Amino acid sequence: MSARPRSPVLALVSAAVYLFLYAPLVVLVAFSFNRGRLAAAWQGFTLDWYRGLLADVQLLGSLRNSLIVALATTAL
């Protein structure tokens, strides 16, 4: 069995596809630490959004319920 040589064009297209798919996620994560309410301009680093998220009792209850359902479904 002889291995076919890999095409550099295929590698370039694959890299472009992955960049197209993951670049918006990276930008979204980066701007989730933005101090400003609008993501149009960077206004400084903050963790306030995450503090507010973790302080929301109703959201944490919903997360707990979702994890219970997921674990029960996996066990079944």
Q: Where are the beta strands (DSSP E) in the chain?
A: none
**By the 8 A CB rule, do 42 and 36 touch?**
yes
Give CA separation, 68 vs 28, 47, 57, 59, 60, in Å.
Answer: 28, 28, 17, 14, 12
What tens digit of pLDDT does each residue of 40-71 get? 788 889 999 899 989 999 999 999 999 999 99
What tens digit of pLDDT does each residue of 1-43 get? 567 777 889 999 999 999 999 999 999 998 889 888 877 788 8
The verdict on pTM exceeding 0.85 is no
